[in-house]
């Protein structure tokens, strides 16, 4: 066990990350909360910031809305412009069809991410308001927890 703790410490993960895994994520946009679940057990809950105009479902590129519905957290980027990011599988086929019917681009690259690189120290301020272009933002320390607890292809439900 001591060797495991040493290896995890060297990788930046904790023992909790080694023994717990979320099997679903739920976002409550109105309450500005993100929950990590294992079955029905709540593993963690975090306050979040959203897109600049968060009410309603994302309909097109640039609308600053965070999508609503069922998606997957399908891949991650440890070298993004924000401290770590996990991609949300928006747009789904229904999102693409709705945008096409309106003649607009549905947008994409919606992520759960930490703070803009080199500005993590400002999280105490930035997390007080909605500042993303439609992503879900947390502090860098919270992103480290999410990163360690949420494997690729975990379902995420984003509720109004």
pLDDT of residue 124: 75
Predicted TM-score (pTM) above 0.75: yes
The answer to whether residue 125 scores a pLDDT higher than 80 is no
Report DSSP state, residue 90.
P
CA distance 29 to 34: 8
Mean pLDDT on 2-12: 48
**24 token code pair:** 């679903």
Separation in Å, CA 114 to CA 6, 30, 99, 100: 25, 20, 28, 31
Range with the lowest mean pLDDT among 89-93, 114-118, 135-139, 140-144? 114-118
Mean pLDDT on 56-84: 93
**What is the CATH T-level fold of the domain 20-159, as seen in this structure?**
L,D-transpeptidase catalytic domain-like (2.40.440)
Phi, psi of 13 (to 5 degrees): -100, 165
Instruction: Tell me whether residue 2 is exposed, middle or buried, using C-beta atoms within 10 angstroms of its C-beta: 0 to 12, 13 to 18, 19 or more.
Output: exposed
Sheet holding 136-137, edge to edge: 41-47, 33-38, 24-28, 154-159, 69-77, 85-88, 111-113, 136-137
pLDDT of residue 122: 65
CA distance 91 to 146: 22
């Amino acid at each position: 066990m001591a060797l495991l703790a040493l290896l995890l410490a060297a990788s930046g993960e904790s023992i909790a990350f080694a023994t717990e895994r979320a099997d679903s994520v739920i976002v409550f946009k109105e309450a500005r909360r993100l929950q990590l679940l294992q079955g029905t057990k709540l593993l963690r809950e975090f306050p979040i910031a959203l897109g600049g105009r968060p009410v309603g479902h994302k309909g097109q590129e640039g609308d600053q809305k965070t999508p609503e519905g069922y998606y997957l957290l399908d891949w991650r980027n440890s070298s993004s412009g924000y401290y770590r990011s996990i991609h949300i599988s928006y747009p789904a086929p229904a999102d693409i069809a709705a945008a096409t019917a309106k003649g607009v681009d549905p947008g994409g690259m919606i992520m759960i991410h930490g703070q803009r690189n080199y500005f993590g120290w400002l999280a105490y301020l930035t997390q007080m308001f909605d500042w993303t272009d439609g992503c879900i933002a947390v502090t860098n320390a919270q992103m480290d927890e999410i990163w360690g607890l949420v494997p690729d292809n975990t379902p995420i439900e984003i509720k109004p």
